[in-house]
Amino acid sequence: MNKYSSIALFSLSSLFAADSFASSWDFRSYETPVNYNFLSFAIGGGKLNSDVLTGRDGVTVSDINLRWLLNEHWFTNFQYKGRFTHHGDENDRADYVTLSGARRFAVMENGDLYAGIKIGGSKLKIRDSNGSTKYTEKDFLLGLFAGANYAFTDALEGNMVLEYLEYDIIHESSFELSLDYYFTTNFSLGAYGRTIWNDDSTLDQGGVVAKLRF
């Protein structure tokens, strides 16, 4: 995992290592090992290694995510992602909007597995140094994902997920690790590390996440 991911995850895990085996704080009112009902905001950055996009290496990423548990076994997710790829004084912008549904499987007292499908769209803008759009491309996307959640304590939660996305002209896969610490019943701060790859490039990124539980 790249330095952005490693630094973010190591910092958070070190900060809350003392709480890893803390007793239950009864932070949840439903029978799941982690919190599923939340609105999250994330920001991060990373490095793009590409065979075709030369000079476009620095990346800034933002994320807004709304997830809610429909019942004991099913949850849904609405997500927006914005990604800026920098090259000199210019930057390219990509926006992603997706809706997903997933099935969770309660495999242990402190953890569960999940798998689901995702549909949505993306819009890419190639821009000049003045911010004017030179080229626009829109894609429909369809994806599959699977992951695992684990509650180290009622305050400290971990997640990993593997995802595959198919666009009109390209496909990509990603792997993500994250940790979240709930300071109160309804508010947490966390960190994540993610690697995204396709046939032409690899993007390594990391960042911080704030969640509002409802």
What pLDDT shows up at residue 22?
Answer: 38
What pLDDT shows up at residue 6?
Answer: 52
What pLDDT shows up at residue 87?
Answer: 74
What pLDDT shows up at residue 56?
Answer: 63
What pLDDT shows up at residue 86?
Answer: 78
| Cα 17 to Cα 84: distance, rounded to the nearest angstrom | 33
Domains of the chain: 38-213 (2.40.160.20)
| CB 63 within 8 Å of CB 42 | yes
Sign of CA dihedral 203, 205, 127, 96: positive
| Cα 170 to Cα 198: distance, rounded to the nearest angstrom | 8
Mean pLDDT split into 10-residue runs, the chain, 214 residues: 49 43 46 90 89 70 95 94 81 90 92 96 76 76 96 94 90 95 94 91 93 92
Residue 151 CA, chain-centre distance (Å), reads 18
What pLDDT shows up at residue 11?
Answer: 45
What pLDDT shows up at residue 159?
Answer: 97
> What's the pTM value of the predicted model, to 2 decimals?
0.79
| Cα 34 to Cα 27: distance, rounded to the nearest angstrom | 9
